[in-house]
Amino acid sequence: MLMWVAARSLETRAYDALVAAGATDVTPAQARLMAQVDPGGSRVVTLAARARTTKQSAAALVDQLEQAGYVERVADPADGRAKLVRLTPRAHAVGEHADAEVARALAEWEEHVGAARMRELEETMAMLREITDPWA
Protein backbone atom coordinates (compact mmCIF):
# COMPACT_ATOMS: atom_id res chain seq x y z
CA MET A 1 0.00 0.00 0.00
CA LEU A 2 2.85 2.39 0.78
CA MET A 3 4.31 1.94 -2.71
CA TRP A 4 0.89 2.54 -4.22
CA VAL A 5 0.45 5.80 -2.30
CA ALA A 6 3.81 7.11 -3.52
CA ALA A 7 3.16 5.96 -7.10
CA ARG A 8 -0.31 7.51 -7.05
CA SER A 9 1.18 10.82 -5.91
CA LEU A 10 3.64 10.80 -8.82
CA GLU A 11 0.92 9.84 -11.27
CA THR A 12 -1.36 12.64 -10.04
CA ARG A 13 1.38 15.24 -10.31
CA ALA A 14 2.34 14.04 -13.78
CA TYR A 15 -1.28 14.12 -14.93
CA ASP A 16 -1.85 17.61 -13.52
CA ALA A 17 1.28 18.82 -15.35
CA LEU A 18 0.01 17.23 -18.57
CA VAL A 19 -3.27 19.12 -18.26
CA ALA A 20 -1.48 22.36 -17.34
CA ALA A 21 0.61 21.95 -20.50
CA GLY A 22 -2.56 22.03 -22.58
CA ALA A 23 -3.69 18.41 -22.69
CA THR A 24 -7.08 19.30 -21.24
CA ASP A 25 -8.71 16.70 -23.48
CA VAL A 26 -6.81 13.75 -21.95
CA THR A 27 -8.42 11.69 -19.21
CA PRO A 28 -6.40 9.98 -16.46
CA ALA A 29 -7.06 6.59 -18.10
CA GLN A 30 -5.80 7.89 -21.45
CA ALA A 31 -2.72 9.39 -19.80
CA ARG A 32 -1.98 6.07 -18.09
CA LEU A 33 -2.19 4.31 -21.43
CA MET A 34 0.06 6.88 -23.15
CA ALA A 35 2.65 6.38 -20.42
CA GLN A 36 2.81 2.69 -21.34
CA VAL A 37 3.63 3.23 -25.03
CA ASP A 38 7.18 2.05 -25.76
CA PRO A 39 9.54 4.48 -27.55
CA GLY A 40 9.26 2.54 -30.81
CA GLY A 41 5.54 1.91 -30.39
CA SER A 42 3.40 -0.79 -28.79
CA ARG A 43 0.66 -3.09 -29.95
CA VAL A 44 -2.80 -2.55 -28.49
CA VAL A 45 -2.76 -6.05 -27.02
CA THR A 46 0.43 -5.17 -25.11
CA LEU A 47 -1.07 -1.93 -23.83
CA ALA A 48 -4.17 -3.82 -22.72
CA ALA A 49 -2.09 -6.37 -20.83
CA ARG A 50 -0.05 -3.67 -19.11
CA ALA A 51 -3.21 -1.82 -18.12
CA ARG A 52 -4.89 -5.06 -17.07
CA THR A 53 -7.88 -4.30 -19.25
CA THR A 54 -9.49 -5.82 -22.30
CA LYS A 55 -8.12 -5.32 -25.78
CA GLN A 56 -11.41 -3.61 -26.66
CA SER A 57 -11.07 -1.09 -23.81
CA ALA A 58 -7.48 -0.33 -24.74
CA ALA A 59 -8.44 0.03 -28.40
CA ALA A 60 -11.19 2.48 -27.45
CA LEU A 61 -8.69 4.61 -25.51
CA VAL A 62 -6.26 4.46 -28.44
CA ASP A 63 -9.08 5.53 -30.80
CA GLN A 64 -9.81 8.55 -28.59
CA LEU A 65 -6.13 9.49 -28.32
CA GLU A 66 -5.68 9.09 -32.07
CA GLN A 67 -8.63 11.40 -32.78
CA ALA A 68 -7.12 13.98 -30.42
CA GLY A 69 -3.74 13.73 -32.14
CA TYR A 70 -1.72 12.15 -29.31
CA VAL A 71 -1.05 8.77 -30.90
CA GLU A 72 -0.90 7.28 -34.36
CA ARG A 73 -1.16 3.75 -35.65
CA VAL A 74 1.66 2.63 -37.91
CA ALA A 75 2.59 -0.66 -39.53
CA ASP A 76 4.62 -2.98 -37.31
CA PRO A 77 7.92 -3.59 -39.13
CA ALA A 78 8.13 -7.03 -37.48
CA ASP A 79 4.68 -8.06 -38.76
CA GLY A 80 3.07 -6.23 -41.69
CA ARG A 81 -0.38 -7.38 -40.61
CA ALA A 82 -0.08 -5.76 -37.17
CA LYS A 83 -0.18 -2.12 -36.12
CA LEU A 84 1.85 -0.27 -33.53
CA VAL A 85 0.55 2.61 -31.46
CA ARG A 86 3.13 5.39 -31.42
CA LEU A 87 3.17 8.73 -29.61
CA THR A 88 2.97 11.82 -31.82
CA PRO A 89 5.00 15.01 -31.44
CA ARG A 90 1.97 16.50 -29.64
CA ALA A 91 2.12 13.74 -27.02
CA HIS A 92 5.87 14.16 -26.63
CA ALA A 93 5.49 17.92 -26.14
CA VAL A 94 3.01 17.64 -23.28
CA GLY A 95 4.78 14.55 -21.95
CA GLU A 96 7.92 16.61 -21.38
CA HIS A 97 5.98 18.69 -18.86
CA ALA A 98 4.80 15.57 -17.05
CA ASP A 99 8.36 14.19 -16.99
CA ALA A 100 9.65 17.47 -15.59
CA GLU A 101 7.05 17.38 -12.83
CA VAL A 102 8.03 13.81 -11.91
CA ALA A 103 11.66 14.95 -11.73
CA ARG A 104 10.63 17.79 -9.39
CA ALA A 105 8.70 15.37 -7.19
CA LEU A 106 11.63 12.96 -6.99
CA ALA A 107 13.92 15.85 -6.06
CA GLU A 108 11.51 16.76 -3.25
CA TRP A 109 11.52 13.15 -2.06
CA GLU A 110 15.32 13.15 -2.08
CA GLU A 111 15.38 16.38 -0.10
CA HIS A 112 13.01 14.81 2.42
CA VAL A 113 14.71 11.41 2.87
CA GLY A 114 18.27 12.21 1.80
CA ALA A 115 20.31 11.23 -1.24
CA ALA A 116 21.54 7.93 0.20
CA ARG A 117 18.05 6.68 1.04
CA MET A 118 16.74 7.78 -2.34
CA ARG A 119 19.53 5.85 -4.07
CA GLU A 120 18.72 2.81 -1.92
CA LEU A 121 15.04 3.14 -2.79
CA GLU A 122 15.82 3.27 -6.52
CA GLU A 123 18.14 0.26 -6.23
CA THR A 124 15.53 -1.67 -4.25
CA MET A 125 12.78 -0.83 -6.73
CA ALA A 126 15.04 -1.93 -9.62
CA MET A 127 15.66 -5.23 -7.84
CA LEU A 128 11.95 -5.73 -7.24
CA ARG A 129 11.25 -4.96 -10.89
CA GLU A 130 13.28 -8.03 -11.82
CA ILE A 131 10.66 -10.25 -10.17
CA THR A 132 7.51 -8.16 -10.63
CA ASP A 133 7.58 -6.58 -14.10
CA PRO A 134 6.84 -9.02 -16.92
CA TRP A 135 7.80 -6.33 -19.49
CA ALA A 136 11.17 -5.40 -17.98
Whether residue 136 is predicted with pLDDT greater than 80 in this model: the reply is no
Domain hosting residue 90, numbered range:
2-132
Question: For the segment 66-117, what is each residue's pLDDT rounded down to a tens digit?
Answer: 999 999 999 999 888 899 999 999 999 999 999 999 999 999 999 999 999 9
The CATH number of the domain holding residue 52 is: 1.10.10.10
pTM for the whole thing?
Answer: 0.87
Q: Are 136 and 38 in contact (CB under 8 A)?
A: no
Q: Are 130 and 136 in contact (CB under 8 A)?
A: yes
Output DSSP code: residue 43.
-
Dihedral of alpha carbons 83, 29, 127, 134, sign: negative
Number of domains, the chain: 1
